[in-house]
Amino acid sequence: MPLNAIALENQKPGNPASEWDLGGPASPTIEGFATRMSVNRGTTVDFKINTTSSNYRIDVYRLGYYAGLGARKVATIQRTTPSPQPAPGGDPAIGYYDAGNWSVTASWAVPADAVSGVYLAKLVRQDGVTGASHIPFVVRADGTQHDIAFQTSDTTWHAYNGWGGANLYGGNATAAPDGRAYKVSYNRPIRTRDRVGAAAAPQDYLLSAEYAAIRWLERNGYDVAYLAAVDVGPGNVPLTQFKVFLSTGHDEYWSGDQRAHVQAARDAGVHLVFISGNEVYWKTRWEPDITGAPGRTLVCYKETWAGEKIDPSAEWTGTWRDTAATPPSDGGRPENALTGTLFQVDSYRYDVIRVPHPLTRSRFWRDTRVALTPPGGTTDLVPGLLGYEWDESPNNRFRPPGLIRLSSTSLDVHAYLVDYGRTTAAAPATHHLTLYRAPSGAIVFGAGTVFWAFGLDAVHDETSNGTYPPVVVDRAVQQTMVNLFADMTVQPTTRQGDLVAATASTDVTPPTAVIAAPANGASVVQQQRVVVSGTASDVGGVVAAVEVSTDGGTSWRAAQGTASWTFDWWPRLPGQHTIRVRAVDDSLNVQSPAASVAVTVTPAASVRLFDPTDVPFALRTAEHAALELGVRFSVNTAGSATGIRFYKNPHVTGAHTAHLWSADGTLLATATFTGETASGWQQANFPAPVALSRGATYIASYHNVGFYSADPNYYTTARTGGAVTAPAGDNGVFAYGASATFPANTFRGTNYWVDVVFARAGGAGNLPPVAGNDGGFTTNQGTAIVIPAAALLANDSDPNGYPLSITGADNPVNGTVTWSAAAQAVTFTPSAGFAGLATFRYTITNGHNAPVSATVSVSVLAAAVRQTLFRPTDTPAVAGFDDPHPVNLGVKFHCTTTGAKAKGVRFYKAPQNSGTHAARLWTANGTLLASATFTGETASGWQEATFPTPVDLTAGTTYVASYHTTAGNYAVTGNFFANAHTRDALVAPSSAGSAGNGVFAYGPSAAFPTSSFNATNYWVDVVVDAPAPLLRTLFEVADTPAVVTVADSGPVQLGTKFRTSATDAAAVGIRFYKGPQNTGAHTAHLWTANGVLLASATFTGETASGWQQVVFGTPVPLTAGVTYIASYHTNAPYSATPDFFGAHHVKGSLTGLSSASGGGNGVFTYGPAGSFPNSTFNATNYWVDVVVRSS
């Protein structure tokens, strides 16, 4: 194999570390930085250096192997001029120190043939004062093809760099309580290696794990090119020119664009190798520096630490996994979705990576001592590789499909991350090396530890505390990297002599998994444990993983075991389910198609929201306060709450009490948790079951003192267990204080992991769906309305949790109806000329029970109503008053209806009132709104002019309608406006109450009429189009009685006393709620309060149950404030809610009177149809309603 540029470069003589390294802390007497983190070869890198020395040099070194010396000098620049620099700019309040205001001191023209790499500019004083420091930078090789793209972790170097006074962990900033910076500049000397800055240490810098990886890669002659993190992020250097992208060491800080570009490269087939730990942890963004140079300021407010959104940008800058502000921000994306592993452990211990025998058989370990592990044995890699921060590979919903584990190390650690990034505590942890293949074919390796590269080369900075011996090289680690790169079609050209050449896998045969249980066609019970089990085998390799999908292949979870495997499934919802199982071999071949069995999940008698495998992402909070924590929920069928559950993490101690509440805070039940386990789901049962009402909201809660589990923004979607549902939105409730404090507060839809146990009244098995009647739909006369299926189904429910669908629509009243399965919509078309309340019926099914139906009410609004102050037959007392002068005559008016439009003006004309006439509409203060000229006039009588554009009128606002005549001889009726004049929704106020009505102004037509005389009507009118009246009822279609069927013998007339406040109201029909046993004929009646029958009608086309409605032949006008009775007659059991009318029931302009104020409400009388109902009992609502048309 010919030598590549890296191999040839490393054949050149190097320079020893005693020359190129510092041998101690960097000197503050000579320090600086490069103005760009990376430059392309053939360009120039500029240095800004702060020193008072007039005699110093800049030695430029390229890092590599160089026969073990580690670097080669490529240039020297002599300087004889001091360059003292000013104090840095920036914003000290947020810890932002930016030395971009420094001057360029020196430059190096990078040769066009320079080899891509990580370079160090070593600043050395030559004036007798000892002092030296480093400036790291990257030289790229843009536009050239290379096997490996080595990304430096420069964002981490700068995040920990405390030069100036602050870093992202602490310092002298005043904005953050801990003094940390919100922004750090690349325009600073880097002092991270010297522990300048809170938490800063050598492992957070270039010369630790990254340097070890550089040495090993270049020693073996891998074709590698180098990029800075800023190149991968905002620089957007194309990654598809490489076969492999490499993240190394402590690669903690990633911007959104950086992750997006790496993920896009993976999805385009570029392999990813993460020999890093704590990787992709903090989400950052970039800003320009104080000079405007882009990509020089790294921004990370660490909003996870703040516990809220404090970055003024819409971008989230907390941990990648944190959901606290997502949505609307862009967090909530755990890193294991990309890397396969997830940061969890801070550990400076000398821990080892262990490989138990089943995992040692993977081809990843070929030609290593690990592969020789006997059955039942375990092989350890060299001590110290697991640190200092390391990851787990959780089997969560972000786990990449097809992921296999290559090692397994379980330890009890002292600093385990227990939330989204704020808190650590002692806990058990398990580390895995992982591997998966993306759909593009790209292989992704995750070491999940910062120090993996220590196993490649022994020359590097060590850990921060120095309490353990140096980590030694592990040939097994070196060989696995050779093996891994070979599988990625990347080969070394100068491979170490003690390593074995590796080739890519030729195994293309996927393994086979077989399901032994449950059997195909089996029936299992909802929310009860189902053990899925079977075997798997492979030809040409070994089975490395088995994974299971229970959601149609949308997501996959790892099973336990390989050749023989099991998986615990807790089916949350009933119905037909397909369990799919597939095996993955050590060449990452995935079985396709997956093995599958179909099972039927039958509804359980008792259900809950969460199953035992549902656990918090954030295990515990740091808060140590007394809190009542809960969840809002509702049930969709009759039943009882039997207990409360909560998830307990190992740090939760003390006694816990469960509470059940109504939505208004009434405590319904209490129970004490007993026999708690150390962690996991706990349950307390109530002394007696508590009956719950369908559709009502309740709160299940428990009292706890500190360290509870909480996942913010969990309830952005609803959570359902079939018959019980926790709604989305303002859910997850809490209250500070003693036990039994009602939890009414919410915060970001947080799940506090509280659950309710609900026993369905119907028990186990399929219960019929509930179809709820629907209303609130409105259309105009002659216009069809299309109602989506979702709008109708929203009021329906299935007590089993099955999805509902519409099967048809029929039984229309006052129109026609059609159902389109293709469009998933119902179309209702009103009958020609009809206006009023129309209905139709639709039928639903859950696919398991008999279909059920519900009624839909549609208000059909009449076309806009033309209204005028005067009728066409109204005439003046004097048709032509003898006044020949030009004059503008008008009337003040207002409209009582919203949505009205003024279309024109009318006036009454005498034969002598000749000439041209002009119409105008004004505001009360004289602003002209519209004008028009009368055309086509008759010799006398009413004339009308139409405005070019109708004018919107504000209800209750006074306007002036006028016309101008040049001939005078206008119509008059003296003292007409001594009282207000009202017609329909139009009101002309009295002259006394409006500072004069009947107004005039002599002169040209543009004169605004403000004068008045003797309340005279000059017979000016306005033409208004007003909206059709609305149909109003006392009850919504969704309102239902407490007792659907009251067993009462004998025919009975049942009614409701009501009043309307509308001045234009008319009763158009009667409604009543029908229980399934309320059979036979029913007749509606409308009465005055003293028993005069105003209208009656017979109900037709009734449904089996729910609201029924009939329309009178002629609407009955109603007087505002007057009491009426709406009633119906039945020979069968009726519906009722006792004590309903203990207070007024008000719905818009309609009021159902309280029994006390109405002389008794909820009225009845036994006897034949037409009997007047005048008896009452216990303010009972018999669910009789009136349909009223009013504005």
pLDDT digits 0-9 by tens, 163-216: 999 999 999 999 999 999 999 999 999 999 999 999 999 999 999 999 999 999
| Residue 61: predicted pLDDT | 99
Q: Domain residues for 884?
A: 865-1026
Binned at pLDDT 50, 70 and 90, residue 859 comes out as confident
Same-domain pairing of 719 and 824: no
Residue 297 lies in a domain: no
Which residues are within 8 A (CB) of 701 and not within 5 positions of it... i.e. 6 or more apart? 628, 629, 630, 631, 644, 658, 659, 660, 661, 733, 743, 754
pLDDT tens-digit map of 130-140: 999 999 999 99
- In a domain? residue 765: no
Looking at per-residue pLDDT, the higher value among 1004 and 15 belongs to 15
Q: Which of 82-86, 467-471, 969-973 has the lowest mean pLDDT?
A: 467-471
Residue 418 falls within a domain, yes or no?
yes
Are 897 and 939 in a shared domain? yes
**SS3 sequence of 58-116:** EEEEEECCHHHCCEEEEEEEEECCCECCCCCEEEHHHCEEEHHHCCCCEEEECCCCCCC
Neighbours of 68 (CB within 10 A): 12
Distant-in-sequence, close-in-space partners of 1092: CB < 8 Å, separation ≥ 6 = none
Give the separation between CA 903 and CA 866, rounded to whole angstroms: 9
Q: What is the CATH number of the domain that holds 653?
A: 2.60.120
Is residue 288 in some structural domain?
A: no
pLDDT at position 1004? 87
End position of a domain, from candidates 568, 602, 636: 602
Q: Are 486 and 531 members of one domain?
A: no
Q: Same domain for 1016 and 890?
A: yes
Q: Is the pLDDT of residue 480 over 60?
A: yes
Q: What integer best gives the mean pLDDT of the chain?
A: 95
Q: Most distant CA pair in the chain: distance in Å?
A: 126
Verify that 681 and 720 share a domain, yes or no: yes
When pLDDT is averaged across residues 1083-1109 and rounded to a whole number, the result is: 94
- Label residue 619 by pLDDT band (50, 70, 90): confident
Dist CA 401 CA 546 (whole Å): 10
Give Cα 198 distance to the centre of its chain. 35
**pLDDT of 365-403, one tens digit each?**
999 999 999 999 999 999 999 989 999 999 999 999 999
Residues 685-714: what's their mean pLDDT?
94
- Kindly report the number of other CB atoms within 10 A of residue 790's CB atom: 10
Report residue 1179's pLDDT band, with 50, 70 and 90 as the boundaries.
very high
320 inside domain: no
d(C-alpha 445, C-alpha 432), whole Å = 11
3-state secondary structure of 547: strand
Residues ≥6 apart with Cβ < 8 Å to 625: 705, 706, 736
- Does residue 880 lie in a domain region? yes
Domain stop point among 504, 537, 552? 504
3-state helix, strand, coil in the chain (%, to 5): 10, 40, 50
Higher pLDDT, 1028 or 1006: 1006
Q: What one-character-per-residue DSSP string does 685-736 give? A: EEEEEEEE-TT-EEEEEEEEES----BTTGGGS-EE-SSEEE-SSS-SEEEE
Check residue 538 and give its pLDDT. Answer: 98
Tokens linked to 1068: 């158009």
Q: Other CB atoms closer than 10 Å to residue 994's CB: what's the count? A: 20
CA pair distance 219, 499, nearest whole angstrom: 12
List of residues 6+ apart from 482 with CB closer than 8 A: 220, 492, 495, 499, 500, 501, 502
Which domain-ending residue is among 452, 485, 504? 504
Query: Do 484 and 425 share a domain, yes or no?
Result: yes
Count of alpha carbons within 13 angstroms of residue 425, beta-carbon side = 16
Which of 905, 1037, 881 is closest to 969 using CA atoms? Answer: 881
Residue 990 burial by Cβ neighbours in a 10 Å radius (0-12, 13-18, 19+)? middle
CATH of the domain at 1063: 2.60.120.820
Quick check: 468 pLDDT over 90?
A: no
Please compute the mean of the pLDDT values over residues 554-577 and round it to a whole number. Answer: 97
Based on C-alpha coordinates, what's the Rg of the chain? 41
Domain containing residue 162: CATH number: 2.60.40.1930
Which residue type is seen at 428? P
Q: How confident is the model at residue 742 (pLDDT cuts 50, 70, 90)?
A: very high
Residue 299 counted as domain residue: no
Beta strand 825-830 pairing with 785-788: antiparallel
* Cβ contact 382:471 at 8 Å: yes
Instruction: Say how far apart CA 228 and CA 914 lie, in whole Å.
Output: 90
Q: What pLDDT shows up at residue 466?
A: 56
Q: What percent of the chain shows pLDDT beyond 90?
A: 90
pLDDT band at 467 (very low <50, low <70, confident <90, very high): low
Question: Is residue 849 domain-shared with residue 951, that is, in the same domain?
Answer: no
pLDDT at residue number 505: 97
Q: Indicate the burial class of 372 (C-beta count within 10 angstroms; 0-12, 13-18, 19 or more).
A: exposed
Residue 392 shares a structural domain with residue 249: yes
Tens digits of residue pLDDT in 404-436: 999 999 999 999 999 999 999 999 999 999 999
pLDDT confidence of 464, banded at 50, 70, 90? low
**Do residues 786 and 826 make contact, with C-beta atoms less than 8 angstroms apart?**
yes
Q: Please give the average per-residue pLDDT across 724-742, as a whole number.
A: 96
Per residue in 938-988, pLDDT tens? 999 999 999 999 999 999 999 999 999 999 999 999 999 999 999 988 999
Provide the CATH number for the domain around residue 562: 2.60.40.10
Residues 49 and 32: their CA atoms lie apart, in Å, by: 4
Q: Which ranges constitute the DSSP H helices of 248-310?
A: 256-267, 303-306
Would the pTM count as exceeding 0.85? Answer: no
Mode of pairing for the β-strands spanning 917-923 and 928-933: antiparallel
Q: How far is CA 147 from CA 163, 225, 242, 505, 1177, in A?
A: 36, 8, 5, 18, 89
Q: Is residue 312 part of a domain?
A: no
- Kind and range of the H or E run holding 211: helix 209-219
DSSP H or E segment with residue 386: strand 386-392
Q: What is the pLDDT of residue 1039?
A: 86
C-alpha distances in Å from residue 31, one per residue of 79, 132, 432, 1061: 14, 8, 41, 84
- pLDDT over threshold 90, residue 695: no
Residue 813 has pLDDT above 80, yes or no: yes
- How many Cβ atoms from other residues are within 10 Å of residue 642's Cβ? 19
Instruction: Taking residues 535-562, report their average pLDDT.
Output: 97
pLDDT at 1105: 87
The total number of structural domains in the chain stands at 7
- Tell whether 888 and 743 lie within a shared domain: no
Give, in order, the Cα–Cα distances in Å from 401 to each of 321, 556, 590. Answer: 19, 6, 10
- Mean pLDDT across the stretch 278-285? 98
Average pLDDT score over residue span 251-259: 98
- Whether the pLDDT of residue 1191 is over 80: the answer is no
143 and 74 co-located in one domain: yes
Distance CA(70)–CA(88), nearest Å, equals 34
Q: Give me the half-sphere count of Cα atoms (radius 13 Å) on the Cβ side of residue 559.
A: 31
Question: Are residues 1016 and 896 both part of a single domain?
Answer: yes
b/e sequence 1124-1163, b meaning 16+ C-beta within 10 Å: bbbbbbbebbbbbbbebbeeebeeebbbbbbbeebebbbb
Mean pLDDT confidence for 1047-1069: 92
Whether 22 and 158 map to the same domain: the answer is yes
